[in-house]
Amino acid sequence: MKSPLLSLPGAVPAEGRDEGVAAHYGDLFREQRALADGSGLVDLSHRGVVAVTGSDRLAWLHLLITQHVTELAPGQATEALILSANGHIEHALYLVDDGETVWMHVEPGTQADLIAYLESMKFFYRVEVADRTEDFAVVYLPAGSIAEVPDGAVVRETPHGRDLFLPRAELEAYAAEHGPVAGVLAYEALRVEAHRPRLGFETDHRTIPHELGLIGVAVHLQKGCYRGQETVARVHNLGKPPRRLVFLHLDGSEVHLPGPGTPVRLASDGPEGRQLGFVTTSARHHELGPIALALVKRNVAVDAHLLAGDTAAAQETVVEP
C-alpha cells in the first residue's frame, strides 16, 4: 500500500520490506536528530493493522500469544509473539486495548497469515478478527513529542514513543500539521541504537525469543500454556540459547555498510575465517556513525574483536552468553 506522503518534496521510496513509505526525505541525519529531539513523526502506514473485538478477546488472545493479557488495562501498551510448536518466532504483535477492541500492528504483509491463524483458533470464543490495514495508518511519534493526538485515535504509549492508529484518510493532514516527516531509515537507525529486534530482520526460521532478549519484554514466564511454551520454559530453566544478539560499532572509514546476512567472524581469523554469525540490520547513526545488530554464536567471547564482512566491528553485549 503506497503512502500519500511519498508525494512530499525530497521523498525517496524505501525498498524491500519497507516498500510503500519513504526511506528518507533528503537529509537522513537531520531526520534522525529531529526524532532524537522529540520532534516530527515517521510514516509507518505500510504496516499491517489487525483488530480483535468481542467480550472474550483478551482471554482468547491470552491462550495464543506469549504475553499475559487477561488483565490488560485499556490504553496499556504491550508486545507479544506467536511461536511455532518448536518455539520459533512466527509473528510479532504490538498491541493496545481501547476497552472494546484490541488493536495491533504487525510487519508489512504478515497480517494475512496472522489473521488466518487467529481465525483457525476461534472455536467457541466470542471474538471477531478484522484486517483494518486499508482503514488505518500507523504513525510513530518519538519520545518527548508534544504533538497532539486526534480525539478518539488509539495510541500505544511506550518508552520509545507513541504509535498512533490514525484513520488513513487523515494521514496527509496530520503530517502537514505535526511534521517534519522522517523516513524509515532514521527510524531504523534509532531502533538499532536501542537494540530493539524486528521480525524478519533479527529473526530467521529458527530464532527463539531468548536469542533476542525478548524474555520479559514480549514473553511472560508466569502465564499458562501456549504454543511453543515448552521450548521457552526448557531453555530458560535448563539451558542457553544457541545464539545471541549483539550490537556492533562498525569501522567508520568504510564506504559501504555490511548488509543483512553479511558473515561475522573473529578479526583474528581474518575475512576467510570460520563464520560465527551474521549481520541482521545495519545503519548510519547521526552520532555513533555506522552501527549494526548481529546474531552470533553464544560462545563468542563478549570482548572479541569481530569482522562484519571486511569491516572491523567492536561489539556490545545485548544478550548475555
Secondary structure (H, E, C), the chain = CCCHHHHCCCCEECCHHHCCCEEECCCHHHHHHHHHCCCCEEEECCCEEEEEECCCHHHHHHHHCCCCCCCCCCCCEEEEEEECCCCCEEEEEEEEECCCEEEEEECCCCHHHHHHHHHHCCCCCCCEEEECCCCEEEEEEECCCCCCCCCCCEEEEECCEEEEEEEHHHHHHHHHHHCCEECHHHHHHHHHHCCCCCCCCCCCCCCCHHHHCCECCCECCCCCCCCCHHHHHHHHHHCCCCEEEEEEEECCCCCCCCCCCCEEEEHHHCCCCCCCEEEEEEEEECCCEEEEEEEEECCCCCCCEEEECCEEEEEEECCCC
Maximum Cα interatomic distance, the chain, rounded to a whole number of Å: 60
Q: What is the pLDDT of residue 252?
A: 85
Q: Which residue has the higher pLDDT, 254 or 194?
A: 194
The span from the CA of 183 to the CA of 8, in Å, is 11
pLDDT at 315 over 90: yes
The CA distance from 79 to 218, in Å, is: 5
pLDDT recorded at residue 73: 98
Tell me the mean pLDDT in the region 63-78.
97
Please state the rounded mean pLDDT for residues 109-132. 97
Separation between Cα atoms, residue 216 and residue 214, nearest integer Å: 6
Mean pLDDT of 188-212: 98
Q: Please state, in angstroms and as integers, the Cα–Cα distance from residue 272 to each residue in 236, 260, 276, 308, 315, following that order.
A: 34, 18, 12, 11, 20
Closest CA to 227 of 78, 41, 81, 23: 81
Q: Which residues pair with 101 in a beta bridge?
A: 53
Torsion of CA 167, 173, 175, 178, to 10 degrees: -110
**Whole-number Å distance between alpha carbons of 220 and 242:** 21
- pLDDT (0 to 100) of residue 255: 81
Task: Report the first-to-last Cα separation within the chain, whole angstroms.
Answer: 40
Q: Flag whether pLDDT at 308 surpasses 80.
A: yes
Which pLDDT score is estimated for 33?
A: 98
- Compute how many other C-beta atoms are within 10 angstroms of the C-beta atom of residue 177: 10
Confidence of residue 171 (pLDDT cuts 50, 70, 90): very high
pLDDT at res. 1: 81
Q: Are 163 and 48 in contact (CB under 8 A)?
A: no
| pLDDT tops 80 at residue 254 | no
Supply the pLDDT for residue 37: 97
CB 166 within 8 A of CB 191: no
Q: For position 277, what pLDDT does the model report?
A: 98
Q: What percent of the chain has pLDDT over 70?
A: 100
* Nearest-10 crossing angle of helices 28-36, 184-193: 60
Q: How confident is the model at residue 224 (pLDDT cuts 50, 70, 90)?
A: confident
Whether the Cβ atoms of residue 5 and residue 11 lie closer than 8 Å to each other: yes
Average pLDDT of the chain, as a whole number: 97
Q: Which is nearest to 190 in space by CA: 149, 247, 244?
A: 247
For the stretch 23-49, pLDDT in tens is 999 999 999 999 999 999 999 999 999
